[in-house]
Amino acid sequence: MSEMRWDYYFLASGAELAAFWTQRLAEGPRDVLCILALGFDPRMCEGFSMLCSASGEGRRDIFLIEFDEGPDSPSQALQLQVDQNRERLNELIRGRGQVSVKQLRLVDVTGRIKITHFGSNQNHPPWWAVM
- Per-residue pLDDT tens over the stretch 68-92: 888 888 888 999 999 999 999 999 9
Give the residue among 59, 45, 128, 31 at the shortest CA–CA distance from 92: 45
Is-contact 104 127, C-beta < 8 A?
yes
Give percent above pLDDT 70 in the chain: 81
Could you read off the pLDDT of 8-37 as tens digits, one per residue? 777 889 999 999 999 999 999 999 999 999
Task: Say whether pLDDT at 130 is over 70.
Answer: no
Where exactly are the structural domains of the chain? 14-130
CB proximity list for 59: less than 8 A, separation 6 or greater = 31, 32, 96, 97, 98
Q: Which helix (H) or strand (E) holds 73?
A: none
- pTM (2 decimals)? 0.75
